[in-house]
């Protein structure tokens, strides 16, 4: 009986170790959220984690950037409902290790944000924070189902980040740089496949900015998201 118990315990330990190793290999971003230290991160302050070994001066700059990005998020939404873990890499190798690929920042549903060294700017950070805030407001299930089309999600993020690559200055009567059309992708997969070849971000930002302008400003977005969270469809409330 003792021998069987020892074998069972040994198998359990091996299973846990194998599962953890599989998680680290297959889903490095999730692994970072579950075990920051395992993926080479340390807590800088609150929910902000930086690559282990990052110089204190660089850490201070990171925290300042994150604070400024949150201020932009608050200015648009009025309040901030999301509180993701934020992981900041100090070099390209770190970002590749967590699955960053060629992006500069990436949001993981509504609970984590990852920034590359090049993406540690107020513009990129607030853009990704906007995705997480939107996902938080509609809920995890509706985020999985993509109840909000990707073009709207991206258009809001461009506006929150006030990205001058895709928008005219806020003082302009019309902020559009590129006229939108009827082919803006609704799914994330379609967006990723098309984003490199056409100026989708500018088109999405144009469409969303005009919708906001004719619906009472940014509070229209919070009302729309609340209605979707309550069970209404995007097409109905948009």
At residue 4, the pLDDT reads 42
Is residue 7 over pLDDT 50?
no
Fold (CATH) for 37-137: Zincin-like (3.30.2010)
Cβ–Cβ contacts within 10 Å for residue 201, how many? 22
Contact 112, 84 (CB under 8 A): yes
| CB contact burial 181-199 (16+ within 10 A = b; e otherwise) | eeebbeeeebbeeeeeeee
More confident site: 3 or 144? 144
Is residue 3 over pLDDT 70?
no
Q: Is residue 192 helix, strand or coil?
A: helix
The mean pLDDT of the chain is 87
Banded model confidence at residue 20, pLDDT cuts 50, 70, 90? very low
Domain ranges of the chain: 37-137, 146-238
More confident site: 61 or 12? 61
Calpha distance 109→140 (Å, rounded): 7
More confident site: 42 or 101? 42
Mean pLDDT across the stretch 137-163? 93
More confident site: 1 or 176? 176
Is residue 19 over pLDDT 70?
no
Range with the lowest mean pLDDT among 1-5, 93-97, 132-136, 152-156? Answer: 1-5
Give every CB contact of residue 111 below 8 A, 6+ residues apart in sequence: 33, 84, 85, 132
Tell me what percent of the residues of the chain surpass a pLDDT of 70.
88
Mean pLDDT across the stretch 102-118? 88
User: Closest Cα to residue 104, out of 117, 85, 122?
Assistant: 117
Is residue 72 over pLDDT 90?
yes
């Amino acid at each position: 009986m003792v021998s069987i118990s020892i074998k069972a315990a040994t198998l359990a330990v091996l299973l846990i170790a194998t599962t953890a190793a599989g998680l680290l290999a297959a889903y490095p971003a999730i692994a970072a959220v579950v075990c920051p230290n395992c993926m080479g991160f340390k807590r800088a302050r609150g929910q902000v984690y930086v690559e282990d070994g990052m110089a204190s001066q660089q850490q201070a700059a990171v925290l300042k950037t994150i604070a400024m990005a949150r201020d932009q998020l608050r200015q648009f939404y009025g309040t901030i409902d999301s509180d993701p873990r934020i992981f900041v890499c100090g070099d390209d190798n770190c970002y590749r290790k967590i699955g960053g690929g060629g992006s500069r920042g990436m949001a993981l549903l509504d609970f984590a944000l990852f920034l590359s060294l090049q993406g540690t700017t107020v513009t990129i950070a607030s853009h990704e924070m906007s995705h997480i805030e939107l996902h938080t407001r509609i809920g995890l299930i509706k985020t999985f189902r993509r109840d909000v089309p990707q073009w709207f999600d991206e258009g809001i993020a461009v506006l929150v980040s006030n990205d001058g690559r895709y928008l005219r200055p806020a003082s302009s009567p019309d902020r559009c740089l590129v006229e939108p059309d009827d082919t803006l992708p609704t799914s994330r997969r379609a967006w990723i496949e098309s984003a490199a070849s056409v100026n989708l971000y500018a088109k999405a930002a144009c469409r969303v900015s005009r919708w906001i302008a004719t619906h009472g400003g940014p509070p229209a977005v919070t009302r729309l998201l609340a209605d979707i969270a309550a069970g209404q469809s995007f097409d109905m409330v948009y």
